[in-house]
A and B are shown apart, each in its own frame.
Chain A
Amino acid sequence: MKLERELMRGAGPTAVMQILSAGEKYGYELVEALSSKSGGILAMGQSTLYPMLYNLESKGLVKSRIDKSGPRARRYYRLTSKGQRKLANDARQWSELFEAFKSLDVLPGGTAPAGGMA
């Protein structure tokens, strides 16, 4: 199941930053990681990844470099310290969101009273 576009708009950058927090990666590597580690749920259109990376770069959350050491030159992306702070903040907000959904019984494991949603 793939996320709806509007949900992906908020979740995508956080997911990309999370993957980059483990180490720098190049574009296709990121695409594969997003798909494989999320079970395909966060698999985004490949054409949207690069604009997302450029946006993150314009905000100073990621930084890119060209590595010419391999068989061909590649552009690698890594998370900056600012990006790390942003990731931590986003993670906290997502966590709070999930807790709120649990309370509302949108997600299982909530504490809402019997009888369904208040």
Chain B
Amino acid sequence: MSNILEKIPTFVYWIRLLRTSLPDLLRGQITGAKQWKVVLAASDLPENVTLEIASAVHHTKLWPRERLDIARELVDHFQDAIEAGNTPEDAIRLFGDPQAAAKLIRRAKRRCRPLWWQAWWWISRSTAALLGIYLALILWLGGVKPQVTTDYFAVLNEGALDAPVEDRAWPIYLDIARSIYIQKNEGTAGLADSPIEFEWEPHWDEMSKQEAATWLAQRQDLIKRVRQAATKPALGVQLNAGQQVFSNFDPVTGELLSTAISAEERREASLYSTLLGHVQSMRGYVRLLRHDAIAAAERGDREIAVADIVAMLSVSDHAGQGGNFLVAGLVRMACESLAMQTVNEVMAEHPHLFTTDDLATLAHAFAAIEYPSDCWLGGERFAFYDSLQRLYSDNGDGDGFVTAEGIRKLQEYASHNNIEAIVASERSLPGVIEATIPVLYFAVASRQEVREMYDRFIMLAVADATTPLYQWKHRWGAAENYLETQFGSMDKQLRYYPISLLAPGITPATNAFHRAHGQRDGVLVGLALELYRRDQGNWPASLEELSPRWLPKIPVDQINGGPLGYRIIDGKPIVYSLGVDSDDDGGRLPPCCEGDIAKYRVHSPYQREATPHASDEDGDWVLWSLAPSVGDAENVATEQEVTTP
């Protein structure tokens, strides 16, 4: 018996422990579950009163400890009320509605809870509200799809087929490609591999002049057809997505396999998917003509040499007509540069080859080169607008927000069409991008804002290309400066992600634009010098003597804005820009060129001294030289008579 009595407190404790709810245990309180009912049951109040109290306490839905306190207090209240002479029914009536009381008690008691609970309550409710709003945003924003409303392929191709069929070069190029393809794959059973640029050109640098001449002699039919294509004023082709025409021929019949894509595929494809493989093929034709011109000059065939050089310019122009894209423009300028280089080399090697009429023909051909006012950025602009309509929603006013589908497309663009990366992104958990859309809605700039920023960027790029280098106010151009200042930081790169990802590398393009102008000036001056010399019997004392008879207007230095440098070295003229260091080095190339004119880096002289490679640019940009070796100009000057008019 005494043993049992000793164990009762422990026994009661364990009972209480077992009857304590888990939340109370976690709070370190051993309250005993439903302890408040025990209190009610232990009171001597009438049943109707205890039921009233029980109803009130139960509906408070408070913590057990709180309910216990309230139950005790209400028991006291009703006991006092009855002791004061009220009947239980009066006491109940005077007390009021227990459920209304429970509501008020609950609200008040929760205000008494500790600070950590208050904080948790507000944070959890706020979080739940925010989550709710976030989910609603996901449902609303995630369901919005981009609307492709403008067919930018049609815009790009506008006017492409305006020229009559007989004035289009494309059918001839296609025929040339077919014959090359068939010849390459002759004897191949079944469909051959279809490389994007099937190799038909020899490795010119590895061939001797004799080998090159032999190779060319065996392909005169091909060269004649290229010259024939060059006579056509227009390229005459419409671009399309996924069109790669030079590798889709049946190797047996030579028939062009269909490259047509369905209207649905066309709607799905963006302008960035336009393939311009034919542009690179034309570069091959230009190299073909160059080497043929050199071979013709070697054997004294001036007519072919002139025809080839003029054809080089025409084929270059065709390359530039390929969609008005920047890459097409760059290829065109590179091809024209080859033509200029060819003229210079031929005249240096064979000073008596061309007649005066030949020189005039060449001068007119080079003078006729025109550069588009938008510097081949028109196609880039259309491609960007096309991307915007595939990335963003459309509110009908030209504005919208980036969509989940748009984010996926940006992932594709970022992977540079890497198949593995695309497949990996497609395997990512569905809905992950949709879940981030509300964040991106605020993080990524709107469609209108992105478009405005991009338009400004293009405007600055066009201005860079059309503003002389010596008038630039930024080292790498206003467009590059704009990119750096507007999109240099991480948050801005995210905000204007489409621009960060899709804006073309402008600096090389705008510099190429100025290089092309400078080189053309050099060729025109060079041809004019030769015409002067043949007419007057000697080189002019200064370039001003060429104007206006041999050259309507004397060009200025593209880099410095001053007069071009002009010297006679060993009886041969050299025309040059003073270069980015604005220092007359007598036509000596800087060390960075390693003797190769093509390696001269054309850029603005603005703040040149601040660049790390300033000393490496000490030299001149040679535009035209009949001297034996431009790299040895300085050495020649020390050994032989140099006249500086």
Contact = CB atoms under 8 A, between A and B. Distances in A.
Contact of B97 (A28, A32, A47, A73): A47
B446 to A, nearest CB: 47
Nearest to A46: B95
Given A47-B95, A52-B108, A54-B108, A27 B76 contact: yes
B211 interface: no
Given A58-B111, A75-B76, A50 B84 contact: no
A73 B75 CA distance: 10
Contact of A46 (B69, B76, B94, B109): B94
A23 B356 CA distance: 125
B76 A51 contact: no
A29 B84 CA distance: 10
A74 interface: yes
Nearest to B76: A74
Contacts of B107: 51
Contacts of A47: 56, 95-98, 100-101, 104
A67 to B, nearest CB: 11
A65 to B, nearest CB: 12
Interface in B81-136: 81, 84, 94-98, 100-101, 104-105, 107-109, 111-112
A75 B96 contact: no
A46 B92 CA distance: 10
Contact of A50 (B79, B97, B105, B111): B105
B583 interface: no
A51 to B, nearest CB: 4
B77 interface: yes
A46 B73 CA distance: 12
A28 B77 contact: yes
B72 interface: yes
A25 to B, nearest CB: 11
B98 A50 contact: no
* Interface SS of A by simple majority: helix
A91 to B, nearest CB: 23
B468 to A, nearest CB: 77
A27 B73 contact: yes
B80 interface: yes
A116 interface: no
Contact of B111 (A55, A73, A74, A75): A55
Interface residues of A, number: 23
B76 A54 contact: no
A117 B95 CA distance: 41
Contacts of B109: 54
A76 to B, nearest CB: 10
Nearest to B104: A51
Contact of A26 (B80, B98, B112): B80
B72 A75 contact: yes
B191 to A, nearest CB: 84
B498 to A, nearest CB: 54
Most A-side CB within 10 Å, residue of B74, B80, B84, B98: B80
Contact of B101 (A31, A32, A50): A50
Contacts of A32: 84
Contact of B73 (A31, A50, A55, A59): A50
Most B-side CB within 10 Å, residue of A45, A46, A48: A46
Interface in A32-53: 32, 45-48, 50-53
Given A47-B56, A47-B98, A50-B105, A72 B76 contact: yes
A57 interface: yes
Contacts of B73: 27, 50, 75
Nearest to B100: A47
A28 B70 CA distance: 14
Nearest to A28: B80
A58 B74 CA distance: 19
Most B-side CB within 10 Å, residue of A47, A52, A75: A47
Contacts of A28: 76-77, 80-81, 84
A75 B74 CA distance: 10
Interface of B: 56, 69-70, 72-74, 76-77, 79-81, 84, 94-98, 100-101, 104-105, 107-109, 111-112
9 contacts: A28-B81, A47-B104, A48-B96, A51-B107, A54-B111, A55-B111, A57-B112, A58-B111, A73-B76
User: Which 4 pairs show the lowest CB-CB distances between chains A and B?
Assistant: A47-B101, A54-B108, A28-B80, A51-B104
Interface of A: 26-29, 31-32, 45-48, 50-55, 57-59, 72-75
Given A48-B101, A50-B101, 7 more contacts: A27-B73, A27-B77, A47-B98, A50-B73, A54-B109, A58-B108, A73-B72
